[in-house]
Structure 1
Amino acid sequence: MKIRDSALPVEERVADLLARMTIEEKIGQLVQLFGWQVFDKEGAAWTLTESFRERAREGRVGALYGTLRADPWTRVTLDNGLSPRAGAEAVNEIQRYAIEHSRLGIPLMIGEECSHGHMAIGATVFPVPLLIGSTWNPELFERMCKVVAAETRSQGGTVTYSPVLDVVRDPRWGRTEETFGEDPHLVGEMGAAAVRGMQGDRLDAPDAIGVTLKHYVAYGSPEGGRNGAPAHMGLQELHSVDLPPFRRAVEAGALSVMPAYNEIDGVPCTSSRYLLEQVLREEWGFDGFVITDCGAVQMLEHGHNVAASGAHAAALALNAGVDMEMSGEAFARHLPEALSQGLTDAAALDKAAGRVLAAKFRLGLFERPYVDPDAAERIIGAEEHRALAREVAAEGIVLLKNEAGILPLDRGSLKSIAVIGPNSDRMYNQLGDYTSPQRRNQVKTVLDGIRSQVGESVEIHYAPGCSVKGDSREGFGPAIACAEKADMTVLVLGGSSARDFGEGTIDLRTGASVVTDAPTSDMDCGEGIDRAELGLSGVQLELVQQLGRLGKPFVVVYINGRPVVEPWIDEHAAAILEAWYPGQEGGNAIADLLFGDANPSGKLTVTIPRHSGQLPLVYNSKRTRGKRYLETDLTPRYPFGFGLSYTTFQYAGLRVYPEVISPNGKATAEVLVTNTGSRAGAETVQLYVTDKISTVTRPEIELKGFRKIWLEPGETKTVTFELGEEQLRLTQPGNVRIVEEGEFVIRVGSHSAEGLEAGLRVSG
């Protein structure tokens, strides 16, 4: 059989296999079942379910989703879940059954969630993408992605449903934490880094997995910031803002794409032939496969209501260019009927099945369907992976305020520190959504990190004070007592995307965990948890204000998945660190920054407004955005790209040469950056472009380049950027990308609201 000959081209092997398959077997390749449901586990023993065995024998399943996933949604816990070794053994047994008991022996594709680490028990939990974006360091992210891919593939996972390339416009949206931010250029650079890191040089390598770009497209622009709500935009804006990050990652070689749940101008993405065929495949040359989000095909019938029946919905998706359905229920149930009714045809089915099979060949599954459990045990959660998680967290945490240089804290001058706040010592609160169950010693909280930093030389007083979103004030008294005894107070506030992991509640007076039978969660962020405004939940602000009456300086650390808008804290806190959800080593990374063992270099990738009523507020808004509200103007509290350091940087000598270029010509922007402080540090040099006059309206400024550099005290470096078609072009109606003649302003600086400027003219 040609399918067994790895020397043959993939296309030839796919054609040979399709010729041997029945319609039922072809439909089966489009079906992805929930992987955690295909086996039963009791104690250390587990068995494949009979329903899975039957479907596998008949070739009616092509892939599994989340076989190794563990979280409250799957109901997989530390007790009933799979260890790194057991997970590898289980996937091997599942693959073996599918291969040895089916007619054609086609291996399964094992898809897993890896937004910020392999979502399996024991795997390394890295910071969420919003923090990763704040590093402005694609090379560091690429290193992280290589680790995530190695951990996932070592257990048999072959495809991941990441990166998230949504350009976020309204941070009230609960999935803001899963994005890299509000700028398409930055998002695209991070997306390309994810493809390079996870897919490597060869998809069939033992440490590579295929990526799935999601959510295609405009999912980060929902009406009112509500998850899955319609996106209101025209094609020119779609092609200028939301599509470019996906195009960049497709050009990098991404294996798969996932349509978003939302609709655009009345057409659901899951059934949009324009997006999935014309743009993705015909214009961009994408040669991978398209997989739906969970339940998206059913939504065409019940939700969007553009399909009259299940068969109609399945046909709409298949005809639009969908190749596989996550959950698989609609395709498995309704595609046979859709074919018999003539709603779709055998050619469409062959295309979809062929794309899935091609991906399996490219992943090397026909040659190496099994993994080494010893390797999984060795690789997953390795010490060097934890060290990398700490490095990423420290580099992405943003210093927003540092009044009178209160940070870094001096261990030698402090006798006692009060650590207060609901996120001081709650491990799941600092991990973000899409996280697996954790053993307590796997996660270092802020309280853990501070204790580790100061040892016994400084007395630590701890009290949570309140919960994230509860209204109880019974913990205020103990918290105030802690602050009264301390030289310095570190307040750890924010939000939580932690689902109910059985951690229980917290005793607000002592900080001890209280396990209860009733489900408990402080969740105010994450998928499906959208908000109407951006203030702190619960009584957190009231706690801070009462502590502020003591007249002592305090430092605020935010741990959260979206920006916090609290003017009182901005005014009264001595220092503010925005830590997002920093992962399992987050507490150590925060302590490194608090005590100066690391120098902050994170920069915001989302604009933080002064008031929630300003939303949506992004740095790259149009010139025609209007002037102001009655109550406030449109200036942000903290602009896009902003972030302080323990040192200072000076920009000088910006020049652009030549000053005039042709539409297809190139120029260079050059600037001198000097570390004018006393500490070594990293600075992200940002390049923005303004098109003074254009045939279609454009943003006031647009990020078109960035470089992260390291400077010793007193050191000067010359930073250069290329200016050409990629940086200057716009998208005209009809998706025509062109560099127009005219005047451009080139700005280079430390963030979007300031910088040196120079001119550039494009002339034919």
Structure 2
Amino acid sequence: MTLEEKAGQLVQPFGWQAYEHTDGKIELTEAFRRQVEQGGVGSLYGTLRADPWTGVTLETGLTPAQGAEAVNAIQRYAIENSRLGIPILIGEECSHGHMAIGATVFPVPLAIGSSWNAELYREMCRAVGAETRSQGGAATYSPVLDVVRDPRWGRTEECFGEDPHLIGEFAVAAVEGLQGERLDGENAVAVTLKHFAGYGSSEGGRNAGPVHMGWRELLEVDLHPFRLAVEAGAASIMPAYNEIDGVPCTVNGELLDGVLRGKWGFDGMIITDCGAIEMLASGHDVAADGREAAIAALEAGIDMEMSGVMFGKHLAEAAREGRLSEETLDRAVRRVLALKFKLGLFERPYADPERAAAVIGSERHAELARRMAAEGIVLLKNEGGALPLDAAGCGRIAVIGPNADQGYNQLGDYTSPQPPGAVATVLAGIRAKLADEPERVLYAPGCRIRGDDREGFPAALAAAEAADTVVMVVGGSSARDFGEGTIDLKTGASKVTGDSWNDMDCGEGIDRWSLGLSGVQLELIQEIRKLGKRLIVVCINGRPIVEPWVDEQADAIVEAWYPGQEGGHAIADVLFGDVNPSGRLTVSVPKHVGQLPVYYNGKRSRGKRYLEDDSRPRYPFGYGLSYTEFEYSRLSVEPAVLAAEGTATVSVDVTNVGARSGSEVVQLYVSDAASLYTRPLKELKGFRKLELAPGETRTVRFAVGREQLSYIGRDLEPTVEPGLFRIIIGKNAEEEILSAELLVREEESP
């Protein structure tokens, strides 16, 4: 290979710029053709991606079949018009579904984590892998394994939660579901774990801000899910934008070569985030210019650059001038080519348009999206049995709020344009439940997410006055401007204006200093509450909401996060009792933003209160209510004394003592009584979600051994120290139900 051909394999230009789509005809651009002919293109990013950032719309974008045809045209040209005929790696965004027109939009990861059902997520990942690969996508930039430490961060919605053990369970499920048994399988795509590492611990919750963290915490917390995913066979990793202790992750050789490749034995590909190399020279300022940044990144262990600007511009010339070792360049090229061989791209570079049309957006996948959304819904409050609603006896229902009928607002960031009717809103879900009596459902948006426009208040108050029950659908929005215009606050109808309204208050790059409801939403709820009607608050959002007045005044509160395209149906299923809520929080919800950070597994020495209030959260990690009740009994730890390398079996009986079938999330926490280095008071080390009929009892068993008892000790290595541990079974991190002791004995001298 020539130096240009080698460098070409390490660049990843924007794929949507490789073609033009006009009147149903797909044509490759001259710029793409020229780049292929002049040395090759190793990969393309977001070839099938559509959203306001790419500028690809429903009109200019591709149907599932056309997407496969476009990928085939790209591959054919690369294979037939480059000297070596190497196929291109098509990389796509798939955080909660393939980000392509027509693909199934599943709930965001924060909602997925709240399901506490990793097996269901594994099934969802198989569906996402099938939809992506059927169109020709072979790699995905997911899962996001960041540990949330400050929910003001706009990308909280992209994460599973605040606990490394829970995230690790979902990380393994993602690898197994997306990659399948073989990377060259027809439904398999290579995962890219991100963002490596510490990205969820940025200063002030600001995106890509500095991270102040020592190696012990980094290894115990933020790197834990990544290690499990690497052990499960993850094919690719993306370093984070942030710096840790002054070293940007993109050039952190100790992190990339030392830990990832050295200690963990990772042999896959490492790809940068978009623009990360430019940031080294303009942002972090650890490189004088783009060439120096590109060389430093490659030498630190980077194999491919998303966007490809710096690598494509500088690497070949740097190697020719002797500023870059050709051996270092060859190392990266081998890793990229190895991944392409593992994916079977040399043998099967083309997609099947007919299969793409059949698989993508299938009815089975929509049903899976509805179940995933339902299992992630968390019931936070249910005063006086306000829920579930009795469809026959609840009278007229007023569905009010800016998220009641705005489809894009329930999808989250990294979402493609949606055709009319593709998203089931809460209003649509409730109307479907009462389809025989449509006059019983009233609707008014009341206000928007942001802004101080109260023009819709009178219509909302009138609807609430005429109803027996009010379902207030409020929260946030991560919807970018898809050109839909805005809503008429008086009528609720869509209204296209000269100035497109952007209600976005969450998502990538949208960080906040408050966790309260944006705009005048709280004021609208307060005005409606004065009418004395039964008030059900449904939150659709990408980060926790902190509104003490709502917590105190609402009869019921349902947290749905961004529930995806079937979210409206799933929420209605929960509201009317067709589904018993089983979601549990994976992020702690504070009483006040001034409590942050408030994650449950902080150090014991962090203090217990402020002058104004204690430091406990409003709703703790693991919290969630059900329409039935569960009791725990017969906790057993056998053996109660074991060696450091031994394993104990923890068992507990769980009984549904209520009148409804329901699912309980059994949570096991471990507390180290004393250790050489400071530890959290308790840590989640196991969980099981089980469905129980009324009166049914089941025994749940957990294995507790080295993985659950170790921590990062001397020399930054995992160790199990002898001593006493408490084994705790709880309904959440604050509510302990049963506990027992486990003693790890000293090793006997030889």
TM bin (shorter chain): over 0.9
Q: Runs of 5+ in structure 1 lacking a partner?
A: 1-20
The aligned residue for residue 115 of structure 2 is: 135
- Choose which of 257, 262, 272 in structure 2 pairs with 1:282: 262
Structure-2 separation of matches of 1:56 and 1:342:
25
The aligned residue for residue 621 of structure 1 is: 602
The aligned residue for residue 624 of structure 2 is: 643
CA gap 1:733/1:293 in 2 versus in 1, 3 angstroms: farther
Structure-1 separation of matches of 2:161 and 2:273:
21
The aligned residue for residue 574 of structure 1 is: 555
Could you tell me how far 1:341 is from its partner in structure 2?
A: 4.7
The aligned residue for residue 114 of structure 1 is: 94
The aligned residue for residue 338 of structure 1 is: 318
Aligned positions of 1:406-421 closer than 5 A = 406-421=386-401
Deviations 1:163-189 (A, max 9, x none): 000000000000000000000000011
Could you tell me how far 1:414 is from its partner in structure 2?
A: 2.3
The aligned residue for residue 68 of structure 1 is: 48
Aligned positions of 1:212-611 closer than 5 A = 212-457=192-437, 459-611=440-592
- Choose which of 744, 747, 750 in structure 2 pairs with 1:762: 744
Structure-1 separation of matches of 2:143 and 2:598:
24
Please state whether the residue corresponding to 1:597 is helix, strand or coil: coil
Deviations 1:195-241 (A, max 9, x none): 00000001001111000000000000010000000011100000010
Structure-1 separation of matches of 2:713 and 2:254:
17
Deviations 1:46-73 (A, max 9, x none): 2111111111123331000000000000
Aligned positions of 1:712-751 closer than 5 A = 712-751=693-732
Structure-2 separation of matches of 1:602 and 1:491:
20
TM-score, length of structure 1 as denominator length:
0.97
Please state whether the residue corresponding to 1:187 is helix, strand or coil: helix
1:178 aligns with 2:158: yes
Structure-2 separation of matches of 1:511 and 1:67:
36
Structure-2 separation of matches of 1:292 and 1:735:
27
Structure-2 separation of matches of 1:222 and 1:628:
24
- Choose which of 603, 607, 614 in structure 2 pairs with 1:633: 614
Deviations 1:645-678 (A, max 9, x none): 1101011121211111111111111111000100
1:98 aligns with 2:69: no
Please state whether the residue corresponding to 1:190 is helix, strand or coil: helix
The aligned residue for residue 704 of structure 1 is: 685
Structure-2 separation of matches of 1:201 and 1:38:
32
1:675/1:711 contact within 8 Å kept:
yes
Structure-2 separation of matches of 1:68 and 1:520:
26
Deviations 1:497-553 (A, max 9, x none): 000001111111111111123232100000000000100000000000111111122
Structure-2 separation of matches of 1:54 and 1:571:
64
- Choose which of 616, 622, 633 in structure 2 pairs with 1:652: 633
The aligned residue for residue 15 of structure 1 is: none
Structure-2 separation of matches of 1:613 and 1:280:
36
Please state whether the residue corresponding to 2:90 is helix, strand or coil: strand
The worse-fitting range, judged by mean Cα deviation, of 406-415 and 585-594 is 406-415
Percent same amino acid among aligned pairs? 65
Deviations 1:654-713 (A, max 9, x none): 121111111111111111100010000111100000001001111111000001111000
1:653/1:672 contact within 8 Å kept:
yes
Please state whether the residue corresponding to 1:590 is helix, strand or coil: helix
Structure-2 separation of matches of 1:108 and 1:369:
8
Please state whether the residue corresponding to 1:440 is helix, strand or coil: coil
CA root-mean-square deviation: 0.8
CA gap 1:305/1:314 in 2 versus in 1, 3 angstroms: same
2:486/2:500 contact within 8 Å kept:
no
Could you tell me how far 1:392 is from its partner in structure 2?
A: 0.3
Paired letter, 1:488: T
2:3/2:319 contact within 8 Å kept:
no
Structure-2 separation of matches of 1:409 and 1:621:
39
Paired letter, 1:412: A
Structure-2 separation of matches of 1:65 and 1:516:
33
Please state whether the residue corresponding to 1:274 is helix, strand or coil: helix
2:6/2:330 contact within 8 Å kept:
yes
2:75/2:87 contact within 8 Å kept:
yes
The worse-fitting range, judged by mean Cα deviation, of 628-637 and 609-618 is 628-637
2:40/2:78 contact within 8 Å kept:
no
Give the count of matched residue pairs: 744
- Choose which of 167, 180, 184 in structure 2 pairs with 1:200: 180
Please state whether the residue corresponding to 1:690 is helix, strand or coil: strand
Could you tell me how far 1:733 is from its partner in structure 2?
A: 4.4
Paired letter, 2:9: Q
Deviations 1:233-283 (A, max 9, x none): 100000010000000000000000000000000000000001110100110
Structure-1 separation of matches of 2:453 and 2:77:
54
Structure-2 separation of matches of 1:288 and 1:74:
28
Could you tell me how far 1:337 is from its partner in structure 2?
A: 3.6
Deviations 1:593-627 (A, max 9, x none): 00011110000000000001001110001001023
2:411/2:564 contact within 8 Å kept:
yes
The aligned residue for residue 14 of structure 1 is: none
1:496/1:561 contact within 8 Å kept:
yes
Structure-2 separation of matches of 1:234 and 1:733:
14
Runs of 4+ in structure 1 off by over 6 angstroms are: none
1:168 aligns with 2:154: no
Please state whether the residue corresponding to 1:118 is helix, strand or coil: coil
Could you tell me how far 1:336 is from its partner in structure 2?
A: 2.7
Could you tell me how far 1:42 is from its partner in structure 2?
A: 1.6
1:58/1:103 contact within 8 Å kept:
no
1:314/1:338 contact within 8 Å kept:
no
Paired letter, 1:130: L
Please state whether the residue corresponding to 2:421 is helix, strand or coil: helix
Could you tell me how far 1:43 is from its partner in structure 2?
A: 1.6
2:40/2:82 contact within 8 Å kept:
no
The worse-fitting range, judged by mean Cα deviation, of 328-337 and 364-373 is 328-337
Please state whether the residue corresponding to 1:413 is helix, strand or coil: coil
1:691 aligns with 2:672: yes
2:110/2:542 contact within 8 Å kept:
yes
1:124/1:381 contact within 8 Å kept:
yes
Could you tell me how far 1:340 is from its partner in structure 2?
A: 4.1
1:235/1:733 contact within 8 Å kept:
no
Paired letter, 2:69: E
1:30 aligns with 2:10: yes
The aligned residue for residue 13 of structure 1 is: none
Structure-2 separation of matches of 1:543 and 1:520:
20
1:311/1:337 contact within 8 Å kept:
no
Paired letter, 1:359: L
Q: Runs of 5+ in structure 2 lacking a partner?
A: none
Structure-2 separation of matches of 1:623 and 1:693:
11
